[in-house]
């Protein structure tokens, strides 16, 4: 009788390597590893050998970079979705697309379970599991770090020892470094000195994609981008797909010290955590997109869209990508993007993105209206009646308060 199969979200790191023999020993599963490439930039070479050596029967390496950029990142850029004013959702957006791929592989292999190595304290367990529940409610989910009765390893040393016992002698080190998550959009850093909010980050050790503004070039660099219906199409005159635009913006932003944030954020599980995020290209793309929107969106749409962007950030942060609410917000946002077409120019200088002009065939900016000379469309006298009506509630209330005060003093 063939064994039941489990699909393991596999990175090739120590945690997920130790999970392979553990799954076989604890549940008797046939382990199929799935490494989902969202643009980690880490070497995927040698993973096949490592997975097999660790006891996996098969390894899938799935490149989903373009799907991630087009179908997950861009809806959030169009919405202007930013969590708690700072976090550009780098990890949050990647989890649902990874989960979707894990479900696809599980279906293909006829697996009964999906296993992930996320801890019981973080947001990622929620994002993975909500996505899997929404896409495959029948598939069992295994989260070793929460199964403290059968998962007894507490440290990297324990895991290395466990691997050695099972004949897996790989060059993992025991020293604790930053806990990082990387994809094409960003890299996050947690741990070490960052666990104490009173400590300044040790940026010289920490930064991977960027330099600090102090170390950025002394000369500014101009960048021009064009958008069509909210989607970036060209960078400095060159047509590129979204993923290549993000890669090039990462290079430019990293060079000029852009998009480094230090945040104490509120996790879904109720605790605060401190992290440093590097999102050089994403920060520029969001800013350029907003720069164009200011020109073409009317005030009422802009106002509601801001609320929707905040709402989407919360939905995505909480792992609720595959929900009717996310679809509905995205549908609203897509309508607002119809005319977000045009060109934006800005310069990058020591951590700053300084706007340098924008144009759009759909611009609602009228030079004759905005200038101080009187045009046909705007009669200054009209403002009299408008202010009277606009200020009427204030005036009525003030009169009432005055009347009551008079009665009190009688």
**What per-residue confidence (pLDDT) applies to 211?**
98
Question: What is the distance between the alpha carbons of residues 281 and 302, in angstroms, rounded to a whole number?
Answer: 24
Q: Note the pTM of the prediction, 2 decimals.
A: 0.96
CATH class of 5-165: alpha beta
Question: What is the distance between the alpha carbons of residues 118 and 115, in angstroms, rounded to a whole number?
Answer: 9
The number of CA neighbours under 13 Å toward the Cβ of 333 is 24
Residue 12, both tokens: 């090739």
Mean pLDDT on 219-226: 98
Candidates 48, 57, 70, 179; catalytic one: 179
Question: What is the distance between the alpha carbons of residues 283 and 86, in angstroms, rounded to a whole number?
Answer: 10
- Whether 156 has a pLDDT exceeding 70, the answer reads yes
**What per-residue confidence (pLDDT) applies to 175?**
81
**What per-residue confidence (pLDDT) applies to 377?**
84
**What per-residue confidence (pLDDT) applies to 371?**
78
**CATH architecture, domain defined by 179-297+340-359:** Alpha-Beta Complex (3.90)
Candidates 11, 37, 92, 95; catalytic one: 95
Per-residue pLDDT reduced to its tens digit, 288-331? 999 999 999 999 999 999 999 999 999 999 999 999 999 999 99
Mean pLDDT on 255-274: 98
Q: Residue 173 — pLDDT band, cuts 50, 70, 90?
A: confident
Query: Which sequence spans correspond to the domains of the chain?
Result: 5-165, 179-297+340-359, 376-409
Q: Residue 378 — pLDDT band, cuts 50, 70, 90?
A: confident
Per-residue pLDDT reduced to its tens digit, 327-373? 999 999 999 999 999 999 999 999 999 999 999 999 999 988 887 76
Per-residue pLDDT reduced to its tens digit, 184-215? 999 999 999 999 999 999 999 999 999 999 99
- Whether 43 has a pLDDT exceeding 70, the answer reads no
**What per-residue confidence (pLDDT) applies to 382?**
93
15 annotated active-site? yes
- Whether 220 has a pLDDT exceeding 90, the answer reads yes
Mean pLDDT on 53-75: 97
Candidates 11, 37, 54, 124; catalytic one: 124
What's the mean per-residue pLDDT of the chain?
96
124 annotated active-site? yes
- Whether 374 has a pLDDT exceeding 70, the answer reads no
**What per-residue confidence (pLDDT) applies to 206?**
97
Question: What is the distance between the alpha carbons of residues 75 and 73, in angstroms, rounded to a whole number?
Answer: 6
**What per-residue confidence (pLDDT) applies to 271?**
97
Per-residue pLDDT reduced to its tens digit, 92-118? 999 999 999 999 999 999 999 999 999
Give yes or no for a contact between 186 and 278, defined as CB atoms under 8 angstroms apart: yes
């Amino acid at each position: 009788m063939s064994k039941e199969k489990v699909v393991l979200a596999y990175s090739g790191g120590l945690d997920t390597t130790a999970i392979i023999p553990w799954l076989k020993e604890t549940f008797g599963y046939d382990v199929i590893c799935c490494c989902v490439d969202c643009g980690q930039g880490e070497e995927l070479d040698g993973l096949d050998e490592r997975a097999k050596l660790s006891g996996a029967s098969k390894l899938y390496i799935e490149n989903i970079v373009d799907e991630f950029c087009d179908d997950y990142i861009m809806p959030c850029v169009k919405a202007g979705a930013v969590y708690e004013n700072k976090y550009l959702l780098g990890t949050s957006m990647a989890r649902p697309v990874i989960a979707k791929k894990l479900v696809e592989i599980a279906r293909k292999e006829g697996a009964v379970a999906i296993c992930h190595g996320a801890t019981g304290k973080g947001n990622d367990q929620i994002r993975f599991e909500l996505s899997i529940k929404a896409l495959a409610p029948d598939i069992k989910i295994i989260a070793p770090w929460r199964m403290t009765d059968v998962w007894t390893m507490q440290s990297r040393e324990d895991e290395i020892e466990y691997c050695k016992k099972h004949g897996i002698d790989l060059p993992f080190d025991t020293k604790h470094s930053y806990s990082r998550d990387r994809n094409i959009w960003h890299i996050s850093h947690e741990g070490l000195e960052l666990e104490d909010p009173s400590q300044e980050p040790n940026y010289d050790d920490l930064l991977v994609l960027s330099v600090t503004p102090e170390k950025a070039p002394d000369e500014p660099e101009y960048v021009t981008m064009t958008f069509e219906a909210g989607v970036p199409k060209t960078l400095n005159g060159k047509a590129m797909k979204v993923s290549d635009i993000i890669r090039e913006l990462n290079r430019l932003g990293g060079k000029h010290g852009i998009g480094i944030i230090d945040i104490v954020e509120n996790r879904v599980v109720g605790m605060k955590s401190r992290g440093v995020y590097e999102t050089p290209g994403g920060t520029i793309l969001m800013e350029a997109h907003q720069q164009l929107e200011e020109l073409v969106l009317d005030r009422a749409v802009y106002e509601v869209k801001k609320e929707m962007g905040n709402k989407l950030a919360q939905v995505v942060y909480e792992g609720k990508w595959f929900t009717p609410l996310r679809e509905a917000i995205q549908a609203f946002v897509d309508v607002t993007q119809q005319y977000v077409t045009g060109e934006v120019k800005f310069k990058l200088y020591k951590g700053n993105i300084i706007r340098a002009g924008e144009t759009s065939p759909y611009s609602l900016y009228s030079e004759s209206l905005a200038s101080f000379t009187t045009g046909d469309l705007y009669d200054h006298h009209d403002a009299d009646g408008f202010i009277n009506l606009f200020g009427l509630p204030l005036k009525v209330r003030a009169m009432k308060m005055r009347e009551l005060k008079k009665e009190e003093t009688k």
